[in-house]
């Protein structure tokens, strides 16, 4: 654990010792804050409309979780798909470009220790940024009746999505020494996972079931609505583990080629 912690703190110092963490968090929070504002304003307008129709309609009251929280976290997942590659692009690509990867490979550190330290640092930065975004919902709770159970379920879902995105981004970074190429590879890999369910309408039922299972959207939808299914949790953990295993294989193959 000590070796993993050493890599973890090295990467954390690298993030916060440069503009990367601050620019990423600032841009993400500004954009999600703008989306959140619009969702709340839309909800407010609907509430005013339904209040005027209350005397002639028996419609159930509007639910702020369904109208705001679900869409808020759905948009966040899409934004992270574009932002995460910029967090992961340097993790191995920079090591290759600077020639420090060979030093890591010949050090007492194992490939898994290095990999888990880098993964943990990136996921921690991701979680800190998400925690800051959670404060927007705390502000909303002061003016609306918010159910916190579905909120924390959605937070868990976006956290697991982040673990999957980060592990895929690290894999892309391990394949090249060019950070721009790493961003492009990572983005298109994540886009494939995002849209893969689309192809399920054009193929056989068995293949369609597999494609739908591999879709990130299919597994996150229930969690944003407050339903935590162990199948969804296992899916995200399995995907993150799979990408980390592929990254380990790529790095180890480089060791054997030397």
73-98: per-residue pLDDT in tens?
A: 888 888 898 889 988 888 888 878 87
pLDDT tens digit string along 166-176? Answer: 999 999 998 88
Its pTM stands at 0.89
Residue that wins the pLDDT comparison between 115 and 107: 115
Average pLDDT, integer, range 221-241: 86
Tokens coding 43? 């909800």
Percent of the chain past pLDDT 70, that is, above it, reads: 92
**Domain-wise residue ranges, the chain:** 2-257
Q: Are 157 and 224 in contact (CB under 8 A)?
A: yes
Cα angle 136, 138, 140; round to 5: 75
The predicted structure's pLDDT at residue 54:
58
At 212, the pLDDT band (50, 70, 90 cuts) reads: confident
Residue that wins the pLDDT comparison between 33 and 108: 33
Q: Would you tell me how many other CB atoms lie within 10 Å of the CB of residue 97?
A: 14
Q: Which residues contact 139 (CB under 8 A, 6 or more apart)?
A: none
Distances in whole angstroms, Cα of residue 208 to Cα of each of 196, 205, 222, 235 = 10, 5, 20, 17
Average pLDDT, integer, range 221-235: 84
- Positive or negative, the Cα torsion across 33, 39, 138, 70? negative
């Amino acid at each position: 654990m000590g070796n993993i912690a050493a890599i973890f703190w090295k990467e954390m110092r690298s993030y916060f010792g440069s503009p990367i963490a601050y620019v990423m968090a600032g841009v993400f929070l500004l954009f999600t804050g703008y989306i959140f504002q619009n969702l709340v304003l839309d909800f407010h307008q609907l509430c005013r409309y339904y209040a005027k129709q209350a005397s002639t309609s028996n419609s159930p009251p509007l639910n702020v979780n369904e109208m705001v929280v679900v869409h808020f976290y759905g948009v966040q997942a899409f934004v992270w798909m574009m932002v995460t590659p910029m967090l992961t692009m340097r993790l191995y690509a920079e090591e290759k470009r600077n020639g420090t990867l060979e030093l890591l490979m010949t050090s007492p550190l194992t490939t898994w220790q290095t990999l888990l330290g880098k993964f943990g640092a990136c996921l921690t930065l991701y979680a800190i940024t998400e925690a800051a975004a959670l404060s927007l919902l705390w502000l909303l709770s002061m003016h609306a009746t918010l159910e916190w159970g579905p909120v924390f379920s959605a937070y868990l879902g976006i956290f697991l999505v982040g673990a999957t995105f980060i592990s895929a981004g690290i894999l892309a970074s391990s394949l090249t020494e060019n950070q721009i190429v790493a961003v492009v590879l990572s983005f298109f890999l994540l886009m494939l996972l995002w849209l893969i369910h689309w192809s399920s309408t054009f193929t056989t039922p068995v293949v369609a079931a597999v494609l739908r299972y591999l879709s990130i959207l299919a597994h996150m939808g229930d969690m944003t609505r407050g339903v935590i299914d162990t199948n969804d949790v296992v899916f995200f953990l399995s995907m993150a583990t799979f990408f980390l295993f592929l990254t380990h294989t790529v790095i180890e193959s480089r060791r054997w080629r030397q």
